Amino acid sequence: MQLIFMGPPGAGKGTQAQLLAALWKIPHISTGDILRACVVAKTDLGQKAQSYMDRGELVPDELLMDIVKERMNQPDASAGWILDGFPRTVPQAAFFDKLLSDVGGGASSSGKGCELKAVNLDVPDNVLVARLLSRGRQDDNEQTIRRRLQVYREQTAPLIEFYRNREQLVAVDGDRQMQEVTAELQKALSGDS
């Protein structure tokens, strides 16, 4: 199973990805977690990424692509994965398609290999802002959150159409109780919907 979890910041991507990864015994790969770990460890990548994250901007493609490529080549990813936080733009999605072909994932639109699904969690902005403020992360204040939502709408939302056009999109209402969202995801992804 190869899944990309999409949705605005605070939609519950990470929570749902962790739950389903544990259930299906596949790795949950969060580019946000990897980036935050790099920031804490003060690696070169972390220091470069920090300046973008502090402004609520997306980390540049080149940095994210290097991280993702390295992670996708690890042995535990060979049986499937849930990717959270990447791709975030259509150019990243095109790169990712090529990467999957290169590492043998074969999740291209040609239908060969494992079928890639892109899961989009829909949640209203007012709910997102409240959720993010309640997390209490250092990088979450209302101004930064609203900027991140604006960046998401401008740069990431076109991915919804990208994957819809390829018939790989699974849309789920994320403005419900966590267990309800998980149940809906399991139903939608197992083909029972």
Catalytic choice (71, 117, 131, 148): 148
The question of whether 71 is a catalytic residue gets the answer no
Is 191 labeled as ligand-binding? no
Q: Which residues contact 124 (CB under 8 A, 6 or more apart)?
A: 175
Write the CA distances from 95 to 60, 107, 177, 185, integer angstroms.
13, 12, 34, 26
Rounded to whole angstroms, how far apart are CA atoms 103 and 148? 31
Catalytic choice (42, 112, 137, 153): 137
Is 176 labeled as ligand-binding? yes
Is 131 labeled as ligand-binding? no
Residue corresponding to tokens 């609520």: 56
The one-character DSSP state at 83 is E
Phi, psi (rounded to 5 degrees) for 130: -60, -45
Is 164 labeled as ligand-binding? no
Catalytic choice (13, 71, 117, 131): 13
Is 162 labeled as ligand-binding? no
Is 92 labeled as ligand-binding? yes
Is 57 labeled as ligand-binding? yes
Is 69 labeled as ligand-binding? no
Q: Which residues contact 47 (CB under 8 A, 6 or more apart)?
A: 39
Catalytic choice (135, 153, 164, 187): 135
The question of whether 131 is a catalytic residue gets the answer no
Rounded to whole angstroms, how far apart are CA atoms 93 and 184? 25
The question of whether 148 is a catalytic residue gets the answer yes
Is 31 labeled as ligand-binding? yes
Binding residues for ATP, by number, are 10-15, 135, 176
Binding residues, by number, are 10-15, 31, 36, 57-59, 85-88, 92, 135, 137, 148, 176
Binding residues for AMP, by number, are 31, 36, 57-59, 85-88, 92, 137, 148
What residues are labeled active site? 13, 88, 135, 137, 148
